[in-house]
Structure formats: structure tokens, C-alpha cells
Amino acid sequence: MNPEAAVATGLAKAFQRAKAESRAAIIGYLPAGFPDQKTSIRIIQEMINSGVDMVEVGIPYSDPVMDGPVICQAAEIALAQGTTTDHALDVVAAVASGDAAILVMSYWNLIASYGEQRFATELAARGGAGVITPDLTPEEGGDWIAACDSQSLAHIFLAAPSSSEQRLRVVAAASTGFVYATALMGVTGVRTGVGDSAPELVQRLRSVTQAPVAVGLGVSTGDQARTVGQFADGVIVGSAFVRRVLEADNADHAVAQVGELAAELVAAVAGR
């Protein structure tokens, strides 16, 4: 399917709204079930109430090869709470009626174990807009892409700074909704800088696709979001939200801290 055709209406509307307001879209992330099921729902709702355009609901996984220590710790806490794929889908259902588009971020083994078509069908039924699969390549994703297309879900793949032009074409052609551009090589985590390779990667992607490009890995402050928002369509923030929850004294404090960061990020990209 042509990536220029926005498959998931929620994603398309989110990017269109941000563009109309002359800003980049803010995309937040939180693992389902972290620090517990009820609080994870409250936190995501607070992100949405604070102006975040999209939220990635992570499915906790025991071997998160792409994630740094902050998100790994959150995943361990969620798994200790007994969080499963079905629980993550329940979180999606609980927050999908808000103003933000809801995505799932999942490692491939979880989806494969659940069943590709079953997962796509269940996610669509709960109001999800799409799925980011960080460890699945387009060449291995034919059946998954078909399952997503059958449910009008976006299937989003990752592009790295080290990717060749041909590789970027493959990733862009296989992605719908947007292309996820990793700002730097390495795992997720809060960093002091975004990385010099990010603007170049976005420019290279723009030469091979008209789909929106969102940048993730390392963005944690309003200043960094403002910088990325100057050249990208979307700014993805994960570890910074998770850290606010880890450092909070209790659930109410966690919700308040996340709302504060979300508002800071949204304000930072305003008036691009």
C-alpha cells in the first residue's frame, strides 16, 4: 500500500492538526501496566489532556533489545504486575476515545505469539490506529502488513542513520501513517543532545517519501523537542515520561509530573 495514503484516520488527523498549527506533532510513550494497570491509563489520559497528539502504548517484553535501562526498568515493573498483551490492548481501549491517536509499540515475538491477524483485529476493535514494530524488517513483514491493511491499521517501520538510500526506500514504502526515524544509533534513553545525524536522516527520508517523518530516541526536554520540531513532522518522547513516573512519590505525583512534561513539550513546538 502506498505510504502517501494515510491509512489510519487518527494518525492522519493528528499530523494534519499539527501542521495546521505550524508545529510538529508530539508523540508520547508509556508501557502498559506501568507502574500498574490503572495508573498507566491515568498517565496516558493525562498526556492526552495536556495536548499530546499521539501515544505509543508499549507492550512490556522480557528481552527489549532496543530499550535502554529506564524503559527496561519500567517493563520489568509492568511484567511483575502480570501485564500481558491482552492487558495492553485493554489500556488502548481505555484511552482510545480521547483526542489523541493511539498506537502500540511491540516487539515482534509478542505479536507472532498472539497471532498476526488476531492482534490486528483486536487492536482495531479497541480503537488503535497502528503499530510500531522496532525489530521487524519489511522483508519479513508481508503477512503482518496484510493483516494491518485488512483492519486499516498503520504499520510503522524504523529507519536508522546508517541506512542506505535503497534501504530508506524500502522502509518508507513499507510504512504507513509515518516513518519512524531514529535520531541516533543505540538504545532508547534520555540524552543531553538529539544527535547530528537526525536532520540529515529526515532530509534523506523526505527525498524518498511524502509520508510524515517522526524522530525518536533521545528527546527528553522542551528545548530538544523544539530543535527536532524544526525539521521533523513528529517528535517522539519515551524515556523522559517513564523517568518522571519512576521518580514520582506516588500515582498522583506521577500523573502530575507526566502532565507537566507533556505540556512543556507541546508548548515548545508551538509556532514552528
> Of the residues 46, 53, 56, 233, which is catalytic?
56
Q: How many CA atoms lie within 13 A of 51 on its CB side?
A: 18
Cis peptide before 134 (omega within 30 of 0): no
Please list the residues that pair with 28 across neighbouring strands.
55, 237
> Of the residues 46, 67, 122, 233, which is catalytic?
67
Amino acid at 217: L
Provide φ and ψ at 184, rounded to 5°. -160, 170
150: how many CB neighbours lie within 10 A of its CB? 12
Amino acid at 55: V
Question: Is 67 among the residues known to form the active site?
Answer: yes
Catalytic residues: 56, 67
